[in-house]
Structure 1
Amino acid sequence: MKFSQMPYERVDFNKVEEEFTQLMKEFKEARNGEEQFAVHRKYYELRDRVDTLMTIAHIRHDVNTADEFYSAEQDYYDEESPRYSNMVINYEKLLYESPYRNVLEDKIGLVAFKNMELSQKSMQEKLIPLVQEENALTTAYEKIPASAEFDWDGEKVNISRLKAYLKNPDRNVRRKAWEKFSAFFKAHEGELDDIYDKLVKNRTKQAKELGYENYVELGYYRMNRNCYTREQVEAFRDQVKKDFVPFVEKLHDRRRQRLGLDKLSFIDEGVYFKEGNPNPVGTPEEILEAGQRMYGQLSPETKEFFDFMMENELFDVLGRNNKRVGGYMTYLPVYRSPFIFANFNGTSADVDVITHECGHAFQGYLSGMDEIREHGDITMETAECHSMSMEFFTEKWMDWFFGDKADAYREMHFEDAMMFIPYGCMVDEFQHIVYANPDLTPAQRKEAWSRLEKEYKPHLDYEGDEFFGKGGYWQQQHHIYSFPFYYIDYVIAQTVAFEYKLWMDEDFEAAWKSYLKLCRLSAADFFNNMIKEVGLKLPFEEGCLKEMAGKLEKKLTKEA
Structure 2
Amino acid sequence: MKFSEMPYKRVDMDEVEKKYRDIIDRTKKASSGDEQFEIHKEYYKFSGDVETNITLASIRHGIDTTDEFYEKENDYCDEILPVIQKYENEYAKVLYESPYRDVLEKKIGKVTFKNIEIALKAFDEKIIPLMQEENALISKYTKLIATAKIPFDGETYNLSLMTKFTTSSDRETRKRAWKAMSDYFLSVTDEIDEIYDQMVKNRTRQAKMLGYDNYIELAYYRMNRNCYDQAMVENFRRQIKESFVPFASRLHERRRERIGVDSLKFYDNGVYFKNGNPAPTGTPEEILQAGQKMYHELSKETGEFFDFMMENELFDVFGRKTKQQGGYMTYLPNYKSPFIFANFNGTSGDVDVITHECGHAFQGYLLRNEEIREYADITMETAEIHSMSMEYFTYGWMDLFFGDRKDDYLKMHFEDAAIFVPYGCMVDEFQHRVYARPEMTPAERKAVWAELEKEYRPHMDYDNDPFYANGGFWQRQSHIFQCPFYYIDYVLASICAMQFKVMMDEDFKKAWENYLKLCNLSARDFFVNVIRESGLNSPFEDGCIRELVEKLEKKTC
TM-score range, shorter chain: over 0.9
State the TM-score, normalizing by the size of structure 1: 0.99
> Sequence identity of aligned pairs in percent?
61
Report what 1:481 is aligned to. 481
Superimposed CA distance per residue, residues 90-142 of structure 1 (whole angstroms, 9 cap, x where no aligned partner) = 00100000000000000000111000001000011001000000000000000
Q: What is the distance in 1 between the residues matched to 2:530 and 2:327?
A: 27
Q: What is the distance in 2 between the residues matched to 1:245 and 1:277?
A: 23
Report what 1:445 is aligned to. 445
Query: 5+ unaligned residues in a row in structure 1: which ranges?
Result: none
2:376 paired with 1:376: yes
Q: What is the distance in 2 between the residues matched to 1:41 and 1:342?
A: 33
Report what 1:242 is aligned to. 242
Cα shift at 1:150: 2.0
Report what 1:331 is aligned to. 331
Alignment of 1:21-100 (within 5 A): 21-100=21-100
Cα shift at 1:385: 0.2
Superimposed CA distance per residue, residues 175-200 of structure 1 (whole angstroms, 9 cap, x where no aligned partner) = 11101111111100111000000000
Cα shift at 1:554: 1.1
| One-letter amino acid of the structure 1 residue matched with residue 433 of structure 2 | I
| One-letter amino acid of the structure 2 residue matched with residue 528 of structure 1 | V
Report what 1:110 is aligned to. 110
SS in structure 1 of the partner of residue 254 of structure 2? helix
Q: What is the distance in 2 between the residues matched to 1:100 and 1:31?
A: 9
Q: What is the distance in 2 between the residues matched to 1:3 and 1:176?
A: 40
Report what 2:200 is aligned to. 200
| One-letter amino acid of the structure 1 residue matched with residue 443 of structure 2 | A
Report what 1:209 is aligned to. 209
Superimposed CA distance per residue, residues 388-426 of structure 1 (whole angstroms, 9 cap, x where no aligned partner) = 000000010000000001110001001111100000000
CA contact (8 A) 2:294 2:397 kept: yes
Report what 2:549 is aligned to. 549
Report what 1:540 is aligned to. 540
CA contact (8 A) 2:320 2:343 kept: yes
Superimposed CA distance per residue, residues 498-542 of structure 1 (whole angstroms, 9 cap, x where no aligned partner) = 000010011000000000010011111000000111111111110
SS in structure 1 of the partner of residue 551 of structure 2? helix
CA contact (8 A) 2:431 2:484 kept: yes
Superimposed CA distance per residue, residues 43-74 of structure 1 (whole angstroms, 9 cap, x where no aligned partner) = 00011000000000000000111110000001
Report what 1:522 is aligned to. 522
Report what 2:509 is aligned to. 509
Report what 1:258 is aligned to. 258
| One-letter amino acid of the structure 2 residue matched with residue 129 of structure 1 | P
| One-letter amino acid of the structure 2 residue matched with residue 319 of structure 1 | G
Superimposed CA distance per residue, residues 470-514 of structure 1 (whole angstroms, 9 cap, x where no aligned partner) = 000000000001100000000000000000001001100000000
CA contact (8 A) 2:62 2:324 kept: yes
SS in structure 2 of the partner of residue 91 of structure 1? helix
Q: What is the distance in 1 between the residues matched to 2:37 and 2:291?
A: 40
Report what 1:309 is aligned to. 309
Report what 1:132 is aligned to. 132
Q: What is the distance in 2 between the residues matched to 1:175 and 1:385?
A: 34
State the TM-score, normalizing by the size of structure 2: 0.99
CA contact (8 A) 2:163 2:347 kept: no
Aligned pair count reads 557
Alignment of 1:146-545 (within 5 A): 146-545=146-545
Cα shift at 1:332: 0.1
Cα shift at 1:87: 0.5
Cα shift at 1:26: 1.0
| One-letter amino acid of the structure 1 residue matched with residue 294 of structure 2 | M
SS in structure 1 of the partner of residue 151 of structure 2? strand
Query: 5+ unaligned residues in a row in structure 2: which ranges?
Result: none
Q: What is the distance in 1 between the residues matched to 2:429 and 2:153?
A: 39
Report what 1:144 is aligned to. 144
Q: What is the distance in 2 between the residues matched to 1:357 and 1:435?
A: 30
SS in structure 2 of the partner of residue 178 of structure 1? helix
Cα shift at 1:151: 2.4
Q: What is the distance in 2 between the residues matched to 1:493 and 1:369?
A: 25
Cα shift at 1:14: 1.4
SS in structure 1 of the partner of residue 342 of structure 2? strand
